[in-house]
């Protein structure tokens, strides 16, 4: 019996060499430590601090760079192929496997690539059987929610900055004001009899 004969429908979806080499990684943009910690707090808008222009610039750049890429069809096939190699799934013909892959692609391709990677990692660790689309959606939901919560808080902090931030008042006193204050102090001391 050769290798091709030994292949079942369960292992029919394989990872092409080109797809295996091409794995895009995406990371959330970094922020200064204090701003990053602020985005992790579950604070309502009225309780959020008013940030200054420097922090607002960081957050603007963060939001602009925080849009992760969507998966390509090759990347998606690679992920599904890995799952099908290690998980129990109903056997079907090659045409059935291709149809299943197309259905999964249509249903899940709108998710961000890092969300799918994280969900598929969890599936590999937690599931015994090949998951349904609904099960994958349930796993992706909290992953996406956590990522989007940080982006939404960054947007709220920017909104609060735009509405409430005012530049600090300069505490500089002119030379004339200092001279006037000295005269007033001298006159006040002279009146009370403590002139020096």
pLDDT at 75 over 80: yes
31-61 pLDDT, tens per residue?
899 998 998 888 888 888 999 999 999 999 9
Distance CA 178, CA 65 (A): 50
150-188 pLDDT, tens per residue?
999 999 999 999 999 888 877 777 888 888 888 888 887
pTM over 0.75: no
Buried b (16+ CB within 10 A) or exposed e, 26-55: eeeeebeeebeebbeeeeeeeebeebeeeb
- Domain coordinates in residue numbering, the chain: 3-19+29-164
């Amino acid at each position: 019996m050769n290798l091709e004969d030994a292949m079942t429908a369960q292992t029919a979806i394989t990872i092409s060499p080109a797809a295996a080499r091409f794995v895009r990684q995406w990371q959330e943009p970094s922020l200064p430590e204090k701003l990053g910690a602020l985005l992790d707090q579950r604070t309502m808008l009225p309780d959020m601090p008013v940030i200054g222009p420097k922090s607002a610039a960081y957050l603007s750049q963060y939001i602009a760079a925080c849009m992760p890429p969507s998966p390509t069809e090759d990347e998606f096939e690679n992920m599904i192929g890995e799952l099908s190699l290690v998980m129990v799934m109903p056997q079907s013909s090659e045409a059935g496997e291709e149809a299943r892959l197309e259905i999964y692609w249509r249903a899940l391709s709108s998710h961000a690539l890092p969300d799918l990677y994280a969900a598929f990692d969890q599936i590999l660790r937690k599931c015994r059987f090949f998951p349904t689309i609904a099960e994958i959606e349930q796993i992706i939901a909290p992953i996406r929610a956590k990522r989007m919560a940080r982006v939404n808080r960054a947007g709220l902090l920017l909104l609060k900055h735009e509405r409430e931030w005012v530049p600090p008042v300069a505490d500089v006193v002119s030379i004339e004001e200092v001279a006037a204050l000295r005269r007033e102090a001298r006159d006040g001391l002279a009146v009370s009899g403590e002139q020096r």
